Amino acid sequence: MAISASVMNDGRTELLAKEVTITNELGLHARSAAQIAGIAREGKGGVWLIKEDMVVDAASVIDILTLACGQGSSITIRVDCHEDLPVLDRILALVEKKFGEEN
């Protein structure tokens, strides 16, 4: 799975990837993965999750599960095109608010 360059059309580079630590108790289990995939599917281009050297499609619950992200693991969320930055931010916010698990 290739990741396209993070260079915008006007030549200006913009950060299309952000790193975040999984802090919810359960990690990226089936239900939290489903929430991420739901948002990622709205992206126009690819949305990826990266853990160490593994890159998976954020639109696939199964793919996310194969990362086996427990609590405390650190992942990078990456989008292919800058229009998808809002998608990235929404996933980021979701992870940061611990998927609403601990209310």
Partner 1 sequence: MIVKEQQEIILKGIGASPGICIGKAYLVDRGTVDVVKKYIIRKEDLEKEKNRFKASVQRAKEELHQIIEKTPEEYREHANILETHVVLLKDKMLYGKTIETIERERVNAEWALRKVVARLKDIFRDMSDPYFRERGSDIVHVSNRIMRNLSGADHVSIKDIDKRVILVAEDLSPADTSQIQLERVKGFVTDAGGMASHTGIIARTLQIPAVLGADRATKTIRNDDLLVVDGTNGLLIIHPSESTLIEYEERRARHEIRIASITRGADAPAVTTDGVRVEVMGNIELPEEVVAVRDFGGDGIGLYRSEFQYLSRTTFPSEDDLFDKYKDVVEVMAPRPVVIRTLDINGDKAVSYLSGADEANPALGLRAIRYCLQKPEVFKVQLRAILRAAAFGNVRILIPMISDFEEVVQVKRLLDESAIELERRGVPCRREIQMGIMVEVPSAVVMIDTIAKKVDFFSIGTNDLVQYAMAIDRQNRQVAHLFNPLHPALIRMVKHVSDVARDEGVRLAMCGEMAAYPLHIPVLLGLCIDELSMNPQSIPLVKRAVRTLSASDTRGFMDSLLKQVRASDVNALLREAYEEHMTRHVHTE
- Binding residues for partner 1, rule: CB under 8 A, are 25-27, 29-31, 34, 37, 57, 59-63, 65-66, 68, 70, 101
Closer residue to partner 1 in complex, CB, 13/66: 66
- 16-45: b (≥16 Cβ within 10 Å) or e: bebebebebebbbbeebbebbbebbeebee
Catalytic residue among 18, 29, 82, 98: 29
Residue 74 bridge partners (DSSP): 21
Closer residue to partner 1 in complex, CB, 11/72: 72
Min CB(76)–partner 1 separation in Å: 19
Pairing of strands 47-51, 74-79: antiparallel
82 is catalytic: no
**Which residues carry out catalysis?**
29
